[in-house]
Amino acid sequence: MPAAPTSQELGRTVLDARDIGRALTRISHEILERNKGAGDLVLLGIPRRGVPLAHRIAARMAAVEEHDVPVGSLDITMYRDDLRMKPARTLLHTEIPGDGIDGKVVVLVDDVLFSGRTIRAALDALNDVGRPSAVQLAVLVDRGHRELPIRADFVGKNLPTSLAERVSVRLSEMDDTTDSVSIAVPATETKGETA
């Protein structure tokens, strides 16, 4: 008889909604502090979950600065280096705020930083949209295992993981559930069965 699934196989929650809220508040304040306010900032979320995170960060900044920070989205689909290896993907929406990004400080926002390849694709996509004065990176979770020399400027939670583990971010705007970040090991990666 197989052993009952462990909590790790089922997934264990490492951040709940309150933890995520605190992390986003901290990221918002760190961005404002580093950039001496919100005057030249533009937040671009990387679809899918980076977009609602960017909107949440902008709302927190507006509460502090009494200045609306422009928010948009940046689709990286056609800039990925694995296009030939995976099935066709649906193009997602790119939305650049009306004043553009030229001369602005662009903060790319994503949910999980892993290999760095998504961010490399985002930098390539950004080149086709305009020329910011600087680009910074904010992520909710940095799980390590970088394959490219990319580092986040603002991190909600450093979450050391093994390559076998899977990090799952759930957001109320997209998943019809409460916010959470969980780690799970796919069933095929778990240890053997016991009798």
Domain assignment present for residue 195? The answer is: no
Lowest mean pLDDT among 3-7, 31-35, 39-43, 189-193: 3-7
Domain assignment present for residue 149? The answer is: yes
Does the pLDDT of residue 3 top 60, yes or no? no
Domain assignment present for residue 188? The answer is: no
- pTM flag (> 0.95): no
Q: How confident is the model at residue 121 (pLDDT cuts 50, 70, 90)?
A: very high
Pure H helices in 66-161: 117-127
Domain assignment present for residue 180? The answer is: no
For 52-90, the pLDDT digits (tens) are 999 999 999 999 998 899 999 999 999 988 776 766 667
Domain assignment present for residue 44? The answer is: yes
Lowest mean pLDDT among 10-24, 63-77, 150-164, 177-191: 177-191
Q: Which residue has the tokens 């960017």?
A: 54
Domain assignment present for residue 4? The answer is: no
Q: How confident is the model at residue 93 (pLDDT cuts 50, 70, 90)?
A: confident
Domain assignment present for residue 23? The answer is: yes
Domain that holds residue 38: 16-164
d(CA 91, CA 75): 7
First to last CA, the chain: 5
CATH, residue 117: 3.40.50.2020
Domain assignment present for residue 155? The answer is: yes
For 40-52, the pLDDT digits (tens) are 999 999 999 999 9
Complete edge-to-edge strand list for the sheet that includes strand 154-158 = 71-73, 41-45, 105-113, 134-142, 154-158
Mean pLDDT of the chain: 90
The total domain count for the chain is 1
